[in-house]
Structure 1
């Protein structure tokens, strides 16, 4: 895999029916890095990811993959370079783990091509990387939430793309499984150079795992940069309407956000 692919958003406007969600947005995804998108509910995070992955057509502007408009490119060509794990994906009833992970190989197969040794190796490597090899023969719908999420990530890994987009990959997971999934994605980035772009709700996990942080607000870009540059009391208040203090995380050395509510403000005592 390489990290030479570029992903840019230029003057992008997105919406549903009469509602504009993202307007005149411009940003660049750093290649070979872990980028995390944060923002309040309904600010356009998931909508942006859908547009980046060609699932939603823009009302204006462009998403450029290696300089080409992604919405003008053939679907399989995009899928060989860019993979998407959507929010709360649904597996076909009764499908086995190995079969679901194998579906990640579809972009690499022509209309009349057969399953190859390379496909077997890609699926096996994805199962090993996600710790799901022992689950290969089990039905997906019998797995726990954490196991299912790892299987979905395995399917995305089997696709063997250089860019991977994930919409809230830690949703519905307990804290230990959240860390497990984020560690796995960091391993993938560091060992293979895969560019990771994901939406996260937890600001502190976002700051801990991101190389590049993007904060959206009011349908546009509010801030972008390192976690130290973006996670400030001013940004938290502007984006989330929340007063906070920022300290240094003693574990990671990254910024750590402490929310200030009406009942827990030590400065008011």
Structure 2
């Protein structure tokens, strides 16, 4: 169970070239829970996730996995504990779905270890969970964007790590498949205790599925806590510059954000039209 694993950032500073994106950020990921990172475009969400998976070295501070700096851990040791689905993964040309998903088993294989029954079972389970079994023999580059995204998620699941980081896992998916993927991650969390950290643009999806929300603004944590604590009208205004109304979702009983646009009043029907319809 992942309750034995801890993931945290301490005074983490990240950037590209002369630009600082994350500035002395502190963050503790609740073990065994689902965390969603939200924020405006270019606020550092993907940059933070890249550093937590050690794809980006920090300029200052550190990311700690079980108290050890991730950038000092051996690659395979880290990959057996922590998996990453980046925002725009690239598959080798001509590779089939089954072969790509099978690459998720690489961290579990040694120099002289052959493919085992457990590997077959892990790949089959990942394909079934993402509803991509029928695509197993097809080249990845022939798939639609939504199909490719589900295949990449299958590869991450086949890795069978205790911590799973996903950067926009619902990209390219229609609403029905977005819900299926987030339901799948919830099932994985509930059944195995997998710690899930994901970047999401959709605030309402984040509030509905996450146990813990982290709102970034200007390279720092603006707010962190339960969806009820973070998804408030004041926080939405501060982080996104957006006026909104936050109500209780009657289905999930989680906060539901309703944006207020500049022309929202224009959509109201004239009273005489309302009377005619009624």
Q: TM-score interval w.r.t. the shorter chain?
A: over 0.9
Aligned to 1:136: 136
* CA–CA separation in structure 1 for the residues paired with 2:253 and 2:19: 40
SS of the equivalent of 2:28 reads strand
Q: Is the 8 A contact 2:207 2:254 kept in 1?
A: yes
1:239 is aligned to 2:239 = yes
Aligned to 1:171: 171
In the TM superposition, what are the counterparts of 1:205-244 in structure 2 within 5 Å? 205-244=205-244
Aligned to 1:79: 79
Q: Is the 8 A contact 2:2 2:195 kept in 1?
A: no
Aligned to 2:50: 50
SS of the equivalent of 2:80 reads helix
SS of the equivalent of 1:242 reads coil
Deviations 1:42-97 (A, max 9, x none): 00000000000000000000100001000011111100000000002111121111
* CA–CA separation in structure 2 for the residues paired with 1:79 and 1:96: 22
Q: Is the 8 A contact 1:170 1:178 kept in 2?
A: yes
Aligned to 2:183: 183
Q: What TM-score, normalized to structure 1?
A: 0.96
Structure 2 gaps of 5+ residues are 271-278
SS of the equivalent of 1:87 reads coil
Q: Is the 8 A contact 1:3 1:162 kept in 2?
A: no
* CA–CA separation in structure 2 for the residues paired with 1:162 and 1:240: 32
Structure 1 gaps of 5+ residues are none
Q: How many residues align?
A: 268
* CA–CA separation in structure 1 for the residues paired with 2:180 and 2:90: 21
1:19 is aligned to 2:38 = no
Deviations 1:88-146 (A, max 9, x none): 21111211111000000111112232111221121112112222222211111222222
Aligned to 2:259: 259
Segments ≥4 residues shifted beyond 4 Å? none
Q: Is the 8 A contact 2:2 2:31 kept in 1?
A: no
Quote how far apart the aligned CAs of 1:265 are: 4.7
Deviations 1:168-200 (A, max 9, x none): 111222211211111111111111111000000
* CA–CA separation in structure 2 for the residues paired with 1:38 and 1:178: 16
SS of the equivalent of 1:101 reads helix
Aligned to 1:197: 197
CA RMSD of aligned residues (A): 1.5
